[in-house]
Amino acid sequence: MDLAEKVKSISGEDVLSCYQCGLCSGSCPVRFAMDLSPTQVIRLVQIRNIEKIFEANTFWICSTCFACYARCPREINITKIMEALRQIRLRRDQDKISVNEIPKEELKILPPIALVSNFRKTTA
């Protein structure tokens, strides 16, 4: 399947109604660490250039906070788009992090929910 179609089918979201207002990027708490803004990512999905998105770290940096979705005037669930992008990578067994490299001192204190959620988002 074409990657853009895959994003659409995994997320269940149609991004064509996005009019590039930028509210999602303005609401994004981790925009500062992203190569491309959420708005740019949505634009790239619109023009079906998913390869370009995969060159950026945006979907890995997204923290699934739903701030963008809560404010999008077109009610696009951008958070789901980010998940679809992560899933496409993870389903090809391309992990973002290496579980073995987490320092022991951190594992001693991290809440289990931090690890469960992180591994769900960053490992296949």
Residues that bind other proteins (CB under 8 A): 9-12, 29-30, 32-33, 61, 63-67, 69-70, 77, 79-80, 83-84, 87, 96-97, 99, 102, 104, 106-123
65 binds ligand SF4 (CB under 6 A): yes
**Site for ligand SF4 (CB under 6 A): which residue of 44, 45, 53, 72?**
72
Cα 106 to Cα 101, 114, 122, distances in angstroms? 11, 11, 17
69: Cβ contacts below 8 Å, ≥ 6 apart: 24, 75, 76, 77, 78, 79, 80
Containing 107, the helix (H) or strand (E) segment is helix 104-109
Shortest separation between residue 110's beta carbon and other proteins, angstroms? 6
Q: What are the backbone dihedrals phi and psi of residue 41, each rounded to the nearest 5 degrees, phi first?
A: -65, -45
For binding to ligand SF4 (CB under 6 A), which residues are involved? 18-24, 27-30, 38-39, 42, 62-68, 72-74, 76, 78-79, 82
